Structure 1
């Protein structure tokens, strides 16, 4: 696999949708397996090292976030030699499909997970739900979730009005209530912005002894894209694999936000909205002193002008 690994992730960005699916199937068949799971889902397995990363992703998400138009697990194969199982959905389905249930049942029955020293389930949003829900297929796994939903069952989360048209999905069948499914995990981690009210409410439902919840205030509702832009997602997964993700290591990684303009702009927008002029000035002065930031320089001059006029 060393030669194949050197070519990972392959660049599939120029392919048509049909050719893209065909290329993924070939990669799976050449390095592990590729299995269609009904009309909406598929699993692509790339075998390499003794750490297995199981990612839950959507096709639109891959196309939006990946420069090579490949599943995120491929990047970890290329960078660290991990094995990867990429669970793909054509759209947000929360992977609520009997074909997917059967797929994970068969993996468990066949002892598939037992071939790996470390197994990690990963996903964000609806895919974070799936990572938690299917982690029960391998007790002792580790789980990393970004702003996951716990369920869309309106009897439990009727307060979440973002996905009302999808409440017809069955969240009471097998692999159903995600917080209960992570009970069998060795460790699970939930990352969320507490100022995103609905994400925070779902996060609270995951409160368990084996679950650590990390707050990411002012990051917003697109944690995955921001963490990828900062190249922090691979580092987080490495820390999970090495059982070294704790409050101190998480805080050290998140210091990268100090140089990340989208985060800084959100922070400034919040201090301005709260009319905390002194904090806005401190923030702008700090950013201008460290970075080329015309927007913050203009805002600092504006604040100074307002103070002089006052």
Structure 2
């Protein structure tokens, strides 16, 4: 960027968008972020979100800067932005944080604590992607809920030497959404016996869980990639995988965004609210709803058996949707 271009950027009006949540939460607002980019091409869009998500911004193509924010705020925006957009939640914390930025215009849902804010009502039965597209629609900004795909750089299209793996991702932020490791292991055994390369992914905090699954499945140590892949490398791995098997967590949304077939195990939350759209994805759910932040595996999640998961996996692998 030239000096003149930097000067223009410095004078551009700023839009601050709050989404201080995790990987899956970010991917659910990609259509909304792109809609904001299209509707405000002259603004500098600053996303208030965890800094660890920054590697995905080039694949989204709508954000100019990431402001490191976890949770509903505070949002240290510096000079008052021209527009603040609440893609975080219904409030009141997120609404308060954005009002404190001094933004001239605030786009958010209505909340009884803020009678002067004229936003749409919060719908608890709306799919998470649709929720934020509908919010912007009420403010005259058209967003396409189907615009979820990430745009990998051309260099990712090179054919790697190793065969495309099946990814087994046993972790999730809360125990309520974690299928038992023994069942993940049995699934991995069957897939490896069928001739598929299986790798176990997760973050650094899930390394022990991944190692347990690999040990139960008698997988070699090289199969455990948990804690060894940054977000960008994980995205590239998912992009070339034959299949992803996981719970209701961020990697499931990454598979959707990269058009990688997936089998996603839902427990306390219906896939009608957080599940993948139609396509090469199978969402398994026993029909129960519960506490997604519970401290033990959800009873509905435990109703999903290994055979059910394997049947879905084999069907996707045999169809060859890749």
TM-score by length of 2: 0.30
- Structure (1 or 2) with the greater helix fraction: 1
TM-score by length of 1: 0.31
Higher relative contact order (CA 8 A, sep 6+): 2
